[in-house]
Amino acid sequence: MASRAEPANESLAPPATPLTREMAWIPGGTFLMGSDRHYPEEAPVHKVAVDGFWMDRGPVTNREFRRFVEETGHVTFAERPPDPKSYPGARPDLLVPGSAVFFKPSRRVDIRDCTQWWQYVPGADWRHPEGPESTLDGRDDHPVVHVAYEDVDAYATWAGKAVPTEAEWERAARGGLEQAVYAWGDEFAPGGKSMANTWQGEFPWQNLLEDGYESTSPVGAFPANGYGLFDVGGNVWEWTCDWFSATRRAPQRPCCTPRNPRGATLAESIDPALPAKIGRRVLKGGSFLCAPNYCLRYRPAARIPETIDTTTCHVGFRCIVRPA
């Protein structure tokens, strides 16, 4: 059963600045990270300590990202043609600007084959989420998507912020609840109320739309967690700055709780089964495409790897500010 974590000595927020005034303060302290009840890469549960920090209340929106692009002229990874040297053996028709877009099959398919619902779409990018004919009309308050890690890092630098570590992200997502399954508690839909934008029905062909959304939803459409954060479960996956490893690193000193831990090394994060040797960072939070029959990952403990050059219609990000 979930419980409220013990108050931390570092729980008092420092004075807000113009940069942090609209952000949520995440108190520092010790918490139990990971899960022994779900996917193997989340185990083992282990004690971690992090220092307090400020965090964006929701994922960065299309409106916020547009301001960044207008002020800097930034061209995202998905808007630029891939370098053939980085993708040996790639088909020429795929070496064009574009991104991965979800297409719902019309019938039940083999869920071991993600090509049944993912397509690389030339012309898909943050301005055109479903492809070159789509627009952001009516989606200013939705999370920006189709952003690679370099786009996220560029935005964070411009904003005077940083990309969170996996431990910081999970501490924030838990909202002060110790080992709760979800960011809001142990019951998925308390009182029948949808608490996050996820997939209801049999993924990937049947979406019952019980939460009201087929794709992304406006930030703030669902209740905040105990720290005042929106969409830490579902809507879009979020980048962290940690390199991924399927096995957790053991503390260098078993007697002590790791403080502000970091993930694997770049070399450890590379998947030897992939032809392109590209680093993978940790994504957290799940998305509107997560379903119990395929990806029960709209939970604080959940984590998956993503190559830093990947852009999709269900991955976004949020930023933090660490006190000086």
Alpha-carbon span 148 to 239, nearest angstrom: 9
Q: What is the mean pLDDT of residues 221-241?
A: 98
- The model's pTM is 0.95
Domain that holds residue 187: 10-324
* pLDDT (0 to 100) of residue 17: 95
Q: Does 4 map to a domain?
A: no
Q: Does 308 map to a domain?
A: yes
Residues 153-189: tens digit of each pLDDT: 999 999 999 999 999 999 999 999 999 999 999 999 9
**Comparing C-alpha atoms, which of 310, 253, 317, 274 is closest to residue 120?**
310
| Strand ranges, E, within 81-236 | 98-102, 118-122, 177-178
Q: Does 3 map to a domain?
A: no
* pLDDT (0 to 100) of residue 90: 86
Q: Does 173 map to a domain?
A: yes
Residue 170 sits in a domain of what CATH number?
A: 3.90.1580.10
* pLDDT (0 to 100) of residue 8: 44
Q: Does 54 map to a domain?
A: yes
Name residue, tokens 């059963």.
Answer: 1
Q: What is the mean pLDDT of residues 127-140?
A: 98
Q: What is the mean pLDDT of residues 259-270?
A: 95
The first and second tokens of residue 114, run together, are 């993600």
* Overall domain count for the chain: 1
Residues 39-91: tens digit of each pLDDT: 999 999 999 999 999 999 999 999 999 999 999 999 999 999 999 988 888 88
Alpha-carbon span 216 to 197, nearest angstrom: 8
Q: Does 101 map to a domain?
A: yes
Q: Does 2 map to a domain?
A: no
